[in-house]
Amino acid sequence: MTRKVYLDNAATTPVSSEVLNEMLPCFNLLYGNSSSIHSFGREAAAIVDRARDRIAAAINAKNANEIYFTSGGSEADNWAVKGIAHAYANKGKHIITSKIEHSAVLEACHALENEGFEVTYLPVDKYGLVSIAELMHAIRKDTTLISIMAVNNEVGTIQNIKTIAKTAHENGIIFHTDAVQALGAVKLDVQDMEIDAMSISSHKIYGPKGAGALYLKNGIRIDSLISGGNQERGKRGGTLNVPAIAGFGKAAEIAVRDLVINQQKLRSIREYFLSKVKENIEYIHVNGHPQQKIQGTVSISFEMIEGESILMLLDLEGVAVSTSSACTSNILQPSHVLRAMGIEDEIAQGTIRFSFGKNISKADVDYAVEVLTNAVKKLRAISPITKAGRR
- Residue 162's beta-bridge partner residues? none
Does position 180 interact with ligand PLP (CB under 6 A)? The reply is yes
Nearer Cβ to ligand PLP (72/307)? 72
> In angstroms, what CA-CA distances link 315 with 94, 136, 261, 273, 276?
44, 45, 30, 18, 20
Q: Running DSSP on this structure, what letter comes out for residue 302? A: E
Nearer Cβ to ligand PLP (102/217)? 102
Characterize the bridge pairing of strands 143-147 and 94-98.
parallel
Sole window of 14-22, 67-75, 293-301, 343-351 interacting with ligand PLP (rule: CB under 6 A): 67-75
Nearer Cβ to ligand PLP (147/181)? 181
195 with 161: CB under 8 angstroms? yes
48 with 69: CB under 8 angstroms? yes
Q: Tell me the per-residue interface mask from 152 to 171 with ligand PLP, x by CB under 6 A, - otherwise.
A: -x------------------
Minimum distance from CB of 220 to ligand PLP (Å)?
Answer: 20
Does position 212 interact with ligand PLP (CB under 6 A)? The reply is yes
**Catalytic residue flag (residue 327):** yes
Nearer Cβ to ligand PLP (92/207)? 207
> In angstroms, what CA-CA distances link 225 with 126, 241, 371?
35, 17, 46
Strands of the 118-122 sheet, one edge to the other: 67-70, 212-216, 197-201, 174-178, 143-147, 94-98, 118-122
Sole window of 13-21, 177-185, 277-285, 302-310 interacting with ligand PLP (rule: CB under 6 A): 177-185
Nearer Cβ to ligand PLP (188/277)? 188
Q: How far apart are CA 61 and CA 200, in angstroms?
A: 13
Does position 73 interact with ligand PLP (CB under 6 A)? The reply is yes
Minimum distance from CB of 270 to ligand PLP (Å)?
Answer: 18
Binder among 139, 149, 183, 294 for ligand PLP (CB under 6 A): 149
Number of residues that bind ligand PLP (CB under 6 A): 14
Nearer Cβ to ligand PLP (77/253)? 77
245 with 21: CB under 8 angstroms? no
Does position 355 interact with ligand PLP (CB under 6 A)? The reply is no
The alpha carbon dihedral of 156, 225, 59, 54 has a sign of negative
Q: How far apart are CA 185 and CA 199, in angstroms?
A: 15
173 with 145: CB under 8 angstroms? yes
Binder among 104, 130, 164, 188 for ligand PLP (CB under 6 A): 104
Minimum distance from CB of 310 to ligand PLP (Å)?
Answer: 20
Binder among 13, 34, 74, 98 for ligand PLP (CB under 6 A): 74
Element (H, E) at 344: none
**What burial letters (b/e) apply to 48-60, b meaning 16+ CB within 10 Å?**
bebbbebbbebbe
Minimum distance from CB of 218 to ligand PLP (Å)?
Answer: 24
Q: How far apart are CA 110 and CA 89, in angstroms?
A: 16
Residues 271-330 contacting ligand PLP, CB under 6 A = none
Active-site entry in 46, 132, 326, 327: 327
Binder among 52, 102, 293, 358 for ligand PLP (CB under 6 A): 102
Minimum distance from CB of 203 to ligand PLP (Å)?
Answer: 6
What is the set of active-site residues?
A: 327
Binding site for ligand PLP (CB under 6 A): 72-74, 77, 102, 104, 149, 153, 178, 180-181, 201, 203, 212
